[in-house]
Amino acid sequence: MTTIERLDEWKAIGIISETQHASLSALVRGERLSVFVELNALLYIGVLSVIGGLGWTFRDYVQDLGDAAILSILIVLVTAALGYCFARGNPYSNAQVESPTLIFDYVLYFGCLAFSLTLAFVETRFGIFGGWDWHLLAAALLFGALAYRFDNRFVLSLALSTIAGYLGLTLSLMDAIDSDVLRASAIAYGALLLGVGLVLNRAGIKRHFLDVYLQLGANAVLLAMISGIFEPVSWTAYLPGLLLLSAAAIYFGIGYRKFAFVAYGTLYGYAGLTARLLPSVGSITGALIYLIFTGSLVIVALVVVARRFGRDE
């Protein structure tokens, strides 16, 4: 039996979906496949690398180049990138808007990072903002506005992550070093993201942005909960909460056909249970057996669910 015939058989009995069959068949035949996602990721990483290289260069040669020259270069880069976006961008709409050119999203991302680098340079050299918290807030507000103006979910993720950094730094500056306070703040921020995303979705404003809010919000809450598992006393409150939220993520992930949330619920719940159960295992051999057995069960369960999602789609 040839590989193509075996793929046909798998498709017939429902092991793989029509889309998976087409992709695998094309691979076996040596036909070209779409590498859009891979190229997209590489281009975003390339933009990030360019900004990192600029920052490294300016840091090492600031004395030779001078503050005025570096600041001028940064302002030109930000102005050119954002000027291009405003000149070529499509009009705003609450619905999804396609990018006008192939490079548009990358230029926008570059402009946002260059703006952040400019603020960082100004704060480092001149201390205009009086602290990094205001730098982060200014960057987050601009990123959020640009994300909605030009319909870019990646920039929206950057904005929401920057706001999280701003809140974390603000709490640190307020001497809120108590772990429970920081953890409660992370949970509140995650819940706020979930609520804002649902409200905007109901209002019909960029409904395709909902996944960004839900993904970041869910991860913020679950990460905060799992960090509480390691507290010597209060873990008894965090573990049930983590398991409850993990079960909710799995339930809604299956109900709304969002596999990522099924994975989040499964992995966070498993990690939380393991963190508490593993220390009670009497030996290294027993711990390894536990990890191999339970880890394999988790992987198999996720593969089964992923295949079920693929067949239904």
pLDDT tens, 77-112?
Answer: 999 999 999 999 999 999 988 888 888 999 999 999
Q: What is the reported pTM? A: 0.78
Please state, in angstroms and rounded to a whole number, the distance separating the CA atoms of residues 52 and 45. 10
pLDDT over threshold 50, residue 313: no
Summarize the confidence of residues 36-52 as an average pLDDT. Answer: 73
Q: Is 127 left (phi over 0), alpha (psi -120 to 50) or beta?
A: left
- Range from 47-56, 126-135, 142-151, 281-290 that averages highest in pLDDT: 142-151
The residues near 192 (Cβ < 8 Å, ≥ 6 apart) are 217
pLDDT over threshold 70, residue 196: yes
Count of alpha carbons within 13 angstroms of residue 25, beta-carbon side? 15
Per residue in 156-178, pLDDT (tens digit) is: 999 998 888 887 766 665 554 56
Q: Could you give the percent of the chain with pLDDT greater than 90? A: 36
